Homo-oligomer: A and B are copies of this chain.
Amino acid sequence: MSRHPLPERVEIRDVGPRDGLQPEAPVSVADRIHLIDALQDAGVKRIEVAAFVSPRAVPAMAGAADVLTGLRRRPGVAYAALVPNLKGAELALAAGVDELTVTISVSEAYNQSNVKMSTAESEAVVAAVCARAGAVPVDAVVSCAFGSPYEGDIAPTRVAALAARLLASGCARITCADTTGMATPRRVDELVDATGPDIGLHLHDTRGTALVNAYAGLERGVRRFDTAVGGLGGSPFAAGAAGNLATEDLVALLDDLGVATGIDVEALVEVAALVAEMVDHPVPGRVATAGPLTRRAAPDR
């Protein structure tokens, strides 16, 4: 239960072009490339840019290879893509992806509902993807890591055991996802006690707890976070699930804590405005709405 000193630096992977846009009406490949460009201009060094899934099942992710081959690569930036299976991995590798993300649920019922496979069957898929990926790192995103809409609480030891098996089968990194907004600071503490701090946290704001959960993770030494600019996102398979932790909300918190990210919060607020235009509705991110602290509220009377 020990608290670490806060890390000097954390790594933020912006999943906006993938997890953020996935539940939205399709945005063109050109606009998605423009969004990725804007994110890297803001200093984001790891971006989930596409999902190699069936465009019939997820129309918003159509053109994944075009996004990956069309984007303007910057040195030092890693471009990740989500792949559901070996075929997706092959397409993503052929398109020159830097990192693969695979999802697998620690909740059997959720995994069945999401991909019509048992968790063990998904583990075999992940192992096959890792074998094919070779030197390209695979990040296994464990969904429902803090609880399942079907099974309720998920014991942290179950997550830790699955994570260990995934690392043993070739995954480079584990990310624990709060798919349905069931994480709390206590559950973050207990999970990190079980897994150790070398995990990523992928937090959703369904119950308004994404930021406090990130803070609890930071206090436990977690140094990797998935966020989406503007706070877009939400699984179409999880009832009531709301958006991802907004990149700019986390960066604002980290800036104030003196934890480096290399990302410019003012630029992110501009990107959030851009993405709001693309999806044609306001984004839920709070700093994007209120302005960062550095931009003082104008005295109004």
Residues of A within 8 A of B (CB): 3, 109, 113, 147, 149-150, 152, 180-182, 184-187, 205-209, 211-212, 215-216, 237-242, 246, 249, 252-253, 256-258, 285-287, 290-293, 296-301
Contact = CB atoms under 8 A, between A and B. Distances in A.
Nearest to A245: B208
Contacts of A184: 253, 256-257, 293
B252 A301 contact: no
Given A215-B185, A249-B207, A256-B184, A113 B286 contact: no
In the complex, the count of this chain's copies comes to 2
Contacts of A239: 297-300
A253 B291 contact: no
Given A186-B257, A239-B299, A287 B216 contact: no
Contacts of A207: 249, 252, 286-287, 290, 292-293
A239 B299 CA distance: 7
A200 to B, nearest CB: 19
Nearest to A252: B207
Contacts of A205: 286
A290 B113 contact: no
Looking at A152, A211, A293, the one whose CB has the most chain B CB atoms below 10 A away is: A293
Given A207-B287, A208-B211, A208-B249, A257 B185 contact: yes
Contacts of A291: 240
A298 B149 CA distance: 7
A180 B297 contact: yes
B209 A209 contact: no
A292 B212 CA distance: 16
Contact of A212 (B181, B211, B290): B211
A108 to B, nearest CB: 13
Contacts of A206: 286, 290
Nearest to A295: B240
A45 to B, nearest CB: 24
